[in-house]
Structure 1
């Protein structure tokens, strides 16, 4: 039996607050992550909304750290200020009932940092990142109307407890194309041997009155009754606390994991409401009606824990564990895995530990059977779905250092591969045109860019011009349409962009490109001099540089 350790929640809270107040170090991200988890729990918002909040917060932190690093490379004060500001700005918006506690932690943390340019820049980076991510996710569908209709014959009673997050499958995703991208096949047919196996296993091991469930299985079941983000994020912190990790690495890891877990819940709720499969308590009390001779009815059967208020198939806990496990394996990169550990309020604060990711994910899956709320097929399918979503997070966020500073709102949708990065050096051409109502009687309008494109070796690769177009010397040519934009982290620079593209030239270097990101911009902003009557018709060529990242779908 695993050793269980009990801790004092009060002592932990004090330790975390003191840690957050310290100057920047590799675990400033994890310190704030722990606090964010505590505030989410106190807000009592439920598991799907809680994971959404954590994804928004950790994405803002990731982008804030990247922006601070661009402006003040290697500056611990800038990074710490960025992390604190991103947490405060996003959490106060998402958890207004916790605003006082959030503000207090922020004031303490910022007060411990040396005042100066780095701190100010970090605060600005954090606030801007939070505002950008909040705006991006403001219409993600989390507050859509509940249109769920219980399955019932007219006049027949059905239990009247509301179901959990029926609108979740339609939410805007972080990583997947749509909520059904990894929708599994249906649950086992009721006349199959698999169904009989699943039914009889959970009937024997998941009953509140079970005599076959061992004491350790009972402890594990009670442990994983808890489902809010802190139980999983503590496992993440086991890896994030490893020696030698940087603030940027941890920010990226927590963003990837939080996005994967938020998408995982969208995917699992899509499948749950699509199939509407019955929970063991319903099946076992109707075992004489499922058409299987191998499933005996048991009147009055109840599970060990209360049933979640959504359909059974697949298992949500399993998909979360699978997604997290896939990320942790990738993060380890073949090196020995640190001991994984987390604690559970539903087990009296006990801590459990695992030597491997597989041991951790297996335990989570088995616990749902021993709790009496899931079948074996459901937990196995959930783990597989989670691993596939985790792999997306590895590809798109966790292992994307070349694009680590790019806001997630500018990420190409779907499965896209970065195929080339080129540098542009040239000008943005503006013309002063009359405009009624403008302060000086006119405004500077962008006419076209004009730039040379250089490859990774510094060799000329092509030209960038109006349209906008990118043309390689081999004759391949693409034209772009702006899909999203974000302010440049540095002032006095043109925005960063995401553009979709189509080929308008021959086959060659650029013909496979489906999306282009314009990032790391300098200069190029409209002229500062007045566009008045004397200047109407005048043009100016404003120097700029940018990186263009080319993606293929």
Structure 2
């Protein structure tokens, strides 16, 4: 551990843990609030990622609208943002979106009292620093921007509110069909996430912009498929004698942690570390100069944090949309089906009707891997912001005592891919091609959005 500290930045991320009071601001605080609300609502990774993208888009466009430094994501600065408190704008924008999703009209638990209490606490802190007129303008700015974002994404709800015929797949070699929902033998579920197949992207041009070119998954009679098949069969079996304890830990770690939550916590800890370094170095000038300079720094930091989290979350949301487009296009079967029903005429592989993966198989197609798509986008954005060779550790509160340490973002991404194979729920090609989708989406978002104006 000492060596890791001496070699470079080491950040400890605790999932669902609060950012320290020293570095927290309204942007990071309400990012955390969004994921806490998602956990209470038991939202799926896809849904929690979509809501996070809405929250962070609204927050960024509101904060940026006060003193426009970057091109907006969707909302040009409304008149209400002129002279507004950035802090109040950020808080209100997040509050409005979260109230619409998790408030009194939510299908899950009504979290409006919790959100109201958080808003009151945030505004109390803001009132100690900003003047009443700017706060009032900030609240109006945040409201206007959040309403515009909500209207923009209202078409998403069509996929959730309009009943869709369940898709159970086909009993054809290579084609996905509903998999056993272990630990409930004899039951199965239709494809999950169909609403995302044709969802309007946030920043990329279309859901299929980065769809893998045909043939997509490997040919069932080819060498690559046999290699993938045998690797997952060996390393992903529940009773594998070849998977090491550390590989098993990695599989469970990434399987129990949702990718959007995890990568946001990584981002928050890196933001915190960067903010702490700047605060330690701020010893210039007299008290007035320090205070006024610190306020300017905090205002700039608020905008930069909003930019980082918006970039991260719309990249992950678009990667998920692109991923589900490809899943629907290729509809490739999962390892549990492929291994149990392998063609006995193929000399490179052997059927095992009793094979069981380490982890229960999710109810959607193998190709491409969702975790790999989303993590590819996340690591692209975070490496661009903080540097590829940033070192960090991640500790889960869902599996006590389990943490993962990485020397770089690419190392973390490689483990994500391997973990899906060790869990027995994906083939290698699904992970590799999923990563390519995520990398392309993340790069596109960085290159075509958040352009600096001054």
- TM class by shorter chain equals 0.7 to 0.9
Displacement of 1:331 in angstroms is: 1.6
* Bigger shift: residues 138-147 or 175-184: 138-147
The secondary structure found in structure 1 opposite 2:251 is helix
Displacement of 1:397 in angstroms is: 2.6
Q: Which runs of 5+ in 1 are unaligned?
A: 404-553
| Structure 2 counterparts to residues 293-372 of structure 1, below 5 A | 293-332=347-386, 337-348=389-400, 350-372=402-424
Displacement of 1:84 in angstroms is: 1.1
Q: Aligned in 2, Cα 1:247/1:232: closer, same or farther, shift over 3 Å?
A: same
The secondary structure found in structure 1 opposite 2:194 is coil
* Bigger shift: residues 351-360 or 101-110: 351-360
Q: Which residue of 2 aligns with 1:40?
A: 38
Q: Which residue of 2 aligns with 1:427?
A: none
Q: Which runs of 5+ in 2 are unaligned?
A: 5-9, 69-78, 104-109, 172-176, 179-186, 279-299
1:103 equivalent in alignment to 2:103: no
Q: Which residue of 1 aligns with 2:222?
A: 192
The alignment's TM-score, normalised by the length of structure 1, stands at 0.65
The secondary structure found in structure 1 opposite 2:27 is helix
Q: Distance in 2 between matches of 1:391 and 1:66?
A: 22
| Structure 2 counterparts to residues 63-78 of structure 1, below 5 A | 63-70=61-68, 78=85
Q: Aligned in 2, Cα 1:324/1:85: closer, same or farther, shift over 3 Å?
A: same
1:151 equivalent in alignment to 2:169: yes
Q: Aligned in 2, Cα 1:370/1:80: closer, same or farther, shift over 3 Å?
A: same
Q: Aligned in 2, Cα 1:280/1:336: closer, same or farther, shift over 3 Å?
A: closer
Q: Distance in 1 between matches of 2:348 and 2:324?
A: 30
Q: Aligned in 2, Cα 1:253/1:363: closer, same or farther, shift over 3 Å?
A: same
Q: Distance in 1 between matches of 2:168 and 2:407?
A: 43
Alignment counterpart, residue 247 of structure 2, candidates 190, 200, 217 = 217
CA RMSD of aligned residues (A): 2.9
Q: Distance in 1 between matches of 2:116 and 2:403?
A: 30
1:79 equivalent in alignment to 2:110: no
Q: Which has the higher contact order (CA 8 A, sep 6+)?
A: 2
1:164 equivalent in alignment to 2:192: yes
State whether residues 13 and 394 of structure 2, in contact with CA within 8 Å, keep that contact through their aligned partners in structure 1: no
Size of the aligned set, in residue pairs, is 386
The alignment's TM-score, normalised by the length of structure 2, stands at 0.78
Q: Aligned in 2, Cα 1:104/1:331: closer, same or farther, shift over 3 Å?
A: same
Cα deviation per residue 1:212-236 (whole Å; 9 max; x = unaligned)? 1111101111100122521121122
Q: Distance in 2 between matches of 1:386 and 1:129?
A: 28
Q: Distance in 2 between matches of 1:258 and 1:4?
A: 20
Question: Which structure: larger Rg?
Answer: 1
Q: Distance in 1 between matches of 2:304 and 2:13?
A: 30
Q: Which residue of 1 aligns with 2:137?
A: 121
Q: Which residue of 2 aligns with 1:419?
A: none
